[in-house]
Amino acid sequence: MKTYDAIVIGGGPGGYPCAIRLGQLKQKTLCIEKETPGGICLNWGCIPSKALISAAHHYERAKDSAFMGIKASGVEIDPNALQDWKDGIVKRLTGGVRSLLKMNGAELLAGTATVVSPTEVEVKLADGTVERIQATKGIVLATGSSTIEIPTFKFDGKQVIGAREAVSLREIPKRLLVIGGGVIGLELGMVYQKLGSTLTVVEALPDLLTGIDPECTKVVERRILKRGGAIHKNAKALGYEKQADGSLAVRIDVAGQTQTLVADVVLVAVGMRPSSKGLGLEQVGVTVDARGFIPTDKQGRTNVPTIYAVGDVSGPPLLAHKASKEGEVVAEVIAGHKAEKDWVSIPGAVFTDPEIAVAGLTAEEALAKGLEVTIGKFPFAALGKAMAMAETEGFVKVVADKKTRQVLGVHIVGPEASTMISEGALALEMAAFLEDLASTVHPHPTLGEALMEASAHALGSAIHIANR
C-alpha cells in the first residue's frame, strides 16, 4: 500500500494551500481532487466572478464617462470574447496550483476519495480502479460545499441556473431574475445588470445580505434600483411555468399574495451546503452536525484525532481565505508545530458595486455583547481621491469600545472596500485603538484616508467633516 505522512482530500482553497504547506514542512503529502484543482474559488467562484465584475465595470465606464469628457461610441460587449478571457485566467491559475504543489513536493492525484479508516483512504480513479492509500500522520478533509437547489427550480443549465453556469454565460440574458439576495445573487446579478440585463432580485428575508450592517447594504440596494432593477424582499420563489415565447413566468409569494414575474433566465443563489456526504465519515465515526458541517477543535482536528477538516466543510463562514488559513494551520499541526486557529477576525468582502467589506463587530453585535460603543464615520463624498475616481457613494464606519477606544469593527461600503478592509483586519489583530488608526500617516490622496478620518471622527478630530 502507498503510504504518505498526510493525505488531503480536496484541492480547493482549503486543500491546496494545506498540501503546499505540508510539502514546505517536508511532509510526504498526497492531495486528491476529483475535478480541476482550485476548487469552486478558482474554477467558477471567486476568480471567474471577479473577472466578470471587472469587465462589467470597464464596459459601464467606457459607455458612461461623458461627464468626465470621455465620449465613446459603439462600445459593445462580446460575451464570447469575455468568456474566453475569463477562461484563460482560470486556466492559468489552476495550472499554477498544479505547479505550486509540484514545486513544494506534494503529489496530486485525480480521483474520488473516501475515508475507510482513521489512517486510510480509498481512491476511485478515472479508469474505475480503486486504490487504498495510507496516511501515517493525518487525513485532511477539504471537500468544500455545493450549491443548494430549490426543488421547484431544478437546474436545467440554460434558463434555470446556478452560479457555475452564471459565470459561463455566452449570451447576456434580457431579463435576469435572481432568487436569493445574498452574496452570489448580488455580485453576479449586478454584473449582468451592467452588461444590459434587466435585474430582479427575490429575497426571502426582510434584508439583502443578511448579517451585514444594513446601512452598508442600503447603498448597494440604491444602486440596483437606480440602474432600473427591482427588489422583492420577504418574497419566496414558489415555482415557474415556461411560456409560449420561451420566457419563464416565476411565481413568488409576498405576504401571502402570489405575484408573477417574467424572466428569461433565473439564477438560483440560495446558499451552499457542506460536502460531507459520501466520504465514509459515518463508518469511521467522524461527527457531522445537523447542518452537515464537521466540527473541529482549535487545531482543526475532528473528534477522530488523525482526521482534520478545513474550509467550508468545517463550518461557516464559507470563505476562501478562511479555508486557506485553516489549511495552513492544519498543515503545521500535522508537521508537529504548535499552531492553532487564533485569529481575531475573518474579514468579509462582497464584490457588489460599490463593494462592501467588513471586519469585526457591528455596533449592534457589540451592544448585544454588553459593550458600550462609539462610532466614527467618514463619507467617500468628502474625499478628494473618491471624487477624482467618480466613486463617491458609501462610507467607512469604525466601531470602537467607548471606554477603552479599542477598535471593535470596521465596515466599509464604497470603492475598493475589499482592499481597504485589510487595514481594518490588521487593526483588530493588533488590538489597535482609534488613536492608532487616526494618527497613522496615510498617503494623500488615497481612499485609505477615509479609515483614518473615520477613526478621527470617532475621537472628535476629523479634519474634512464636521465632528459632533
Q: Please pick, from the candidates 120, 203, 264, 353, the single residue that binds ligand NAD as defined by CB under 6 A.
A: 203
Per-residue x/- marks for ligand NAD, 366-405, CB under 6 A?
Answer: ----------------------------------------
Instruction: Report the distance separating Cα 385 and Cα 444, nearest Å.
Output: 8
Query: For every residue of 70-132, which 3-state class applies, written as one string?
Result: CCCCCCCCCHHHHHHHHHHHHHHHHHHHHHHHHHCCEEEEECEEEEEECCEEEEECCCCCEEE
What part of residues 140-159 is at the interface with ligand NAD (CB under 6 A)? 150
Residue 166 in contact with ligand NAD, rule: CB under 6 A: no
Instruction: Report the distance separating Cα 90 and Cα 368, nearest Å.
Output: 42
Residue 185 in contact with ligand NAD, rule: CB under 6 A: yes
Per-residue x/- marks for ligand NAD, 96-135, CB under 6 A?
Answer: ----------------------------------------
Residue 51 in contact with ligand NAD, rule: CB under 6 A: no
Catalytic residue among 337, 444, 457, 464: 444
Q: Please pick, from the candidates 182, 274, 394, 448, the single residue that binds ligand NAD as defined by CB under 6 A.
A: 182
Binding span for ligand NAD by CB under 6 A among 128-136, 342-350, 367-375, 451-459: 342-350
Q: Please pick, from the candidates 204, 262, 346, 375, the single residue that binds ligand NAD as defined by CB under 6 A.
A: 204
Query: Could you tell me where the DSSP H helices lie in 347-409?
Result: 363-368, 384-389
Residue 145 Cβ, how far from ligand NAD at the closest point, in Å?
Answer: 7
| Closer residue to ligand NAD in complex, CB, 138/414 | 414
Sign of the Cα pseudo-torsion (14, 20, 24, 30, in order)? positive
Residue 323 in contact with ligand NAD, rule: CB under 6 A: no
Grid cell for residue 46: 471567486
Residue 237 in contact with ligand NAD, rule: CB under 6 A: yes
- Catalytic site residue 444? yes
Q: Please pick, from the candidates 20, 266, 350, 357, the single residue that binds ligand NAD as defined by CB under 6 A.
A: 350
Q: Please pick, from the candidates 202, 288, 396, 398, the single residue that binds ligand NAD as defined by CB under 6 A.
A: 202
Q: Please pick, from the candidates 7, 183, 313, 373, the single residue that binds ligand NAD as defined by CB under 6 A.
A: 183
Exposure of 87 in the CB half-sphere (CA atoms within 13 A): 10
Binding span for ligand NAD by CB under 6 A among 166-174, 178-186, 286-294, 425-433: 178-186
- Cβ pair 450, 416 in contact under 8 A: no
- Select from 148, 152, 146 the least CA-distant residue to 236: 152
- Cβ pair 284, 321 in contact under 8 A: no
Residues that bind ligand NAD (rule: CB under 6 A) add up to a total of 27
Residue 358 in contact with ligand NAD, rule: CB under 6 A: no
- Cβ pair 115, 121 in contact under 8 A: yes
Residue 319 in contact with ligand NAD, rule: CB under 6 A: yes
Instruction: Tell me, rounded to whole angstroms, the distance of Cα 188 from its chain centroid.
Output: 12
| Closer residue to ligand NAD in complex, CB, 6/237 | 237
- Cβ pair 381, 450 in contact under 8 A: no
User: Residue-wise over 284-304: b if at least 16 C-beta within 10 A, else e?
Assistant: bebebeeeebbebeebbbbeb
Binding span for ligand NAD by CB under 6 A among 79-87, 286-294, 344-352, 452-460: 344-352
Sign of the Cα pseudo-torsion (174, 180, 185, 190, in order)? positive
| Closer residue to ligand NAD in complex, CB, 109/262 | 262
Binding span for ligand NAD by CB under 6 A among 19-27, 61-69, 180-188, 385-393: 180-188
| Closer residue to ligand NAD in complex, CB, 105/292 | 292
Residue 251 in contact with ligand NAD, rule: CB under 6 A: no
| Residue 151 DSSP one-character state | G
Instruction: Report the distance separating Cα 60 and Cα 149, nearest Å.
Output: 32
| Closer residue to ligand NAD in complex, CB, 229/348 | 348
Q: Which helix (H) or strand (E) holds 462?
A: none
- Select from 240, 23, 92, 358 the least CA-distant residue to 15: 23
Instruction: Report the distance separating Cα 166 and Cα 160, nearest Å.
Output: 10
Residue 269 in contact with ligand NAD, rule: CB under 6 A: yes
Active site residues: 444
- Interface contacts to ligand NAD, rule CB under 6 A: 150, 179-185, 187, 202-205, 210, 236-237, 269-272, 317-319, 348-351
